Every structure is written in C-alpha cells, then in structure tokens.
Copies of this chain bind each other. A is one copy, B any other.
C-alpha cells in the first residue's frame, strides 16, 4: 500500500512534476538567489550598484537573514557580487573571465547582448551510441538523445556552431520548447532543475569542412577550433554532450584558471 504511494511519488519526482505544489518544494534561499541573479543578468542592477542590505532583502522576500545570506553566499561565490563588511554587497555583473573554456554554454561567456542564436536543427529525438568520442552507458543509449544544432552569431558574425546531445531522460515537453535566442542551460536550470556542475573537454585545431565553410563563410583551409565536451550535472549519471566549433579569426576563446 505504502509502496504504491512511494512509487507514485518517485514517478512524479522523476517527471519533474512536484508532488503537491510547484513552488512549495523549491527552497527559499534558492528562490531568492534566482531572483537576484536574474535581476543582475537582466540589468535591473548594474555593475557597481549597491544591493539592498540583507535586512531590506529580508523584509522584501519575507525570510530571515540566514536564508538571505545563503542566497548571497552563492551569488558571491559565483562572482555576481562582492561583499564588504560594513558597506554592503556590490554588484559585479555577469561573471566574466570565465569564458567558454571553463564554463558551460556560450551565453554566459559572451554576454547576452551581442549574441544571436539560430537553430539549425530543431531539438529532435534520435538514437545514439556515442557522443563525440565520449562513450555512453546502457541507460543513455536506450533512452535516446535530444539532438540540436545551433549557429551563434556574435555582432552578426557567425562565430560558433555547436551540436548538443542530451539524454532523453525525464525532460517532459523539451523538444517542443522554443530555443531561439535562449540559453539552453537556463532552460534546463529553471524548468528541469538541471544544474551544471563541471565537465571535461578535448580541444583541437582542425580545418573547416564544407559545412563549416558554409556556416562561417570562410574559404578553403580555414582553421577552426573544435571542442568536444562532456558536461556533468547535479543529476547523477546525467551528462550533456556538446561539440562546439569556433571561428577564432576575430574572437579568441578566453579563459582563466
């Protein structure tokens, strides 16, 4: 009897459906973090601004200081803000100097303003057996993958072309979403609670093939940067695979270590 309940709950959790309510399960500190973070990335707060004090944030969000502090801890840790004892928290903007090399996605590396995304191949479900030389396990192969191709323009020049493959596990209605000019990782984080934890990558230099010559509008023998990456998430065993090609004529990849 109880077993059935547990199974039901398990099913709901895996489907991304919350058992009772959508909001009730998301902890307050995470909620506050999301709000403040989006306020920084969306330009409500600008670089150099003084964030509302912790006590002010308490009254606004109707939580206590430890909760607010946990949200601010994370923001500071990720480089969105810098805190000064006695003064307050100063907005630092979208963390830069992280770059595509040490982070996931191109959006956070470039800054959303001058980045345009064109979906070459809309998300569709495919079979796969390997992902850019990264081996797959049985569960990944059996569940198939969500496949999409994107061309990304920086200042109206095509700079990135990437192929993304995501295991088709517990991502309801994913293929029917609109991805144009949206961050893939933002969608995964906000709608499916999938967060990137880290990953591994292989980088090499190649010459553009016909496809890339076409996309990047370059001539024969043009050198292109290739990144094969396997990205870890907070879901155990759930990896995102992506292959990024980059025309480094005008924009070199930048990173810190």
Contacts and interface: CB of A to CB of B under 8 A. Distances in A.
A200 interface: yes
A70 to B, nearest CB: 9
Interface string A100-132: 011100000000000000000000000000000
* Interface size bracket, A side: 20 to 34
Interface in A190-210: 198-207
Most buried by B among A101, A103, A223, A228: A223
Contacts of A207: 207, 221, 223
Identical chains bound together, number? 2
Contact of A79 (B101, B198, B203): B198
A203 B257 contact: no
Interface in A168-226: 198-207, 221, 223-225
8 contacts: A79-B198, A101-B257, A198-B256, A201-B254, A201-B255, A201-B256, A202-B254, A203-B253
